[in-house]
Structure 1
């Protein structure tokens, strides 16, 4: 039986990257479904639209948009309703236009789609095509197209019921310059990279990432992707309890008790 695959993204149902992801999925399985936001949800993180009615728009066979919905909304709707009694075995989120690295993953709607897939019982893989923003803001999908299906197969084969989702980034380089798939830790920045950024319109501002906090770990995802021309994959644990802090807290008591 083929893997049942659910695709979502945070760039929207009509984004080019979701077409790339559909090609990747269809190279693996003939049971592919798409449930994605009707518009751009970049930076939405793991937001749910509680208390607000949502609706579906059919965009073709096994292809649905959720009006106003986040990537997490889409995965839940797909896994618990659209796919009926057989939810997906694999949730693929992306392919995002632009890299998702380091602590930026915490606010990524692409990452949230994969994370929610795991929470719903599937294997979850987020995929992003990196760009050099000093050169272009238009992604070249060649590496995602060429290597995407092989990357998914490799991760699924290595998966062993781990309580993780996987974050994949394709490098910004020629296809023949890609050196392979490298498993790396994520870059923990010295501070949040997200900052206030002033607008040219008086009284308005943006949330932006004007610069990368330094220093950077040469062995973590950010620098390995940028300098090494490797496809990077990072497993993110869903059990977030810090055991050391848990033990320290277990030994404290309120004053007077």
Structure 2
């Protein structure tokens, strides 16, 4: 029996990257479904639209959008409703237009799609095609298209029931210059990279990432992707409890009054 695959993203159901992801999934399975936001949900993180009615729109065979929905909303709708009694074995989120690296993963809707997939009982893989924003704002999808199915197959084969989702980034380089698939930790920045960014319109501003905080770990995702031309993969744990802090806090006690 083929893997049942659910695809989502945070760029919208009509984004070019989700068509690339459908190609990747179709090279692995003939049981591929898409449930994605109706528009751009970049930076939505793991938001759920509680208390607000959503609409599921069918665009064709096995292809749906959720009006106003986040990637997490879409995965829940897909896993618990659209796919009926047989939810997906694998949730693929992306391919995102632009890299998802370091602490930025915490606010990534692409990452949240894969994370919610794991929470719903599937293997979850988020995939992003990196860009050099000083060169172009239009992603070059050739590395995602060329290597995507092989990367997914390798991660599914290596998965051992770990309580993780996988975050994959394809480098911005010629396909022949890709140096391999490398498992790396994510870059923990010295501070949040997200900043208030003034608009040209008086009284208005943007949320933006004007620069990357330094220093950068040469062995972490950011530098291995950018300088090493490797496809990077980072397993993110869903159990987020810090065991050292938990042990220290276990010694706390209230003073008797």
Q: TM-score range by the shorter chain?
A: over 0.9
Distance 1:256 1:229 in 2: 60
- Mapped partners of 1:85, 1:184: distance in 2: 36
1:216 & 1:229 partners in 2: Cα distance? Answer: 16
The question of 1:94 aligning with 2:99 is answered no
Within 2, Cα distance between the matches of 1:81 and 1:256?
Answer: 52
Deviations 1:16-66 (CA, angstroms, capped at 9, x unpaired): 000000000000000000000000000000000000000011111000000
How big is the shift at 1:76?
A: 0.1
SS of residue paired to 2:60:
coil
Which whole-Å CA distance do the structure 2 matches of 1:187 and 1:170 have between them? 16
Task: Find the counterpart in structure 1 of residue 67 from structure 2.
Answer: 67
Residue aligning to 2:115:
115
Structure 2 matches for 1:138-153, cutoff 5 A? 138-153=138-153
Equivalent residue, structure 2, for 1:226: 226
Shift of 1:256: 3.1
Paired residues for 1:178-217 under 5 Å: 178-217=178-217
Aligned position for 2:32: 32
Distance 2:49 2:251 in 1: 39
TM-score (norm 1): 0.99
Match of 2:130 in 1: 130
Structure 1 residues not aligned, in runs of 5+:
none
Task: Give the Cα–Cα distance (whole angstroms) in 1 for the partners of residues 180 and 143 of structure 2.
Answer: 11
Mapped partners of 1:256, 1:107: distance in 2: 42
Distance 1:124 1:28 in 2: 15
* Corresponding residue for residue 103 of structure 1: 103
Per the TM alignment, residue 253 of structure 1 is displaced from its structure 2 partner at its CA by 1.1
Separation in 2, partners of 1:254, 1:98: 49
SS of the aligned residue for 1:157 comes to: helix
Per the TM alignment, residue 99 of structure 1 is displaced from its structure 2 partner at its CA by 0.0
Q: CA RMSD in A?
A: 0.6
- Aligned residue pairs: how many? 257
C-alpha offsets along residues 61-113 of structure 1, whole Å, 9 cap, x if unaligned? 00000000000000000000000000000000000000000000000000000
Deviation at 1:254, TM superposition (A): 1.8
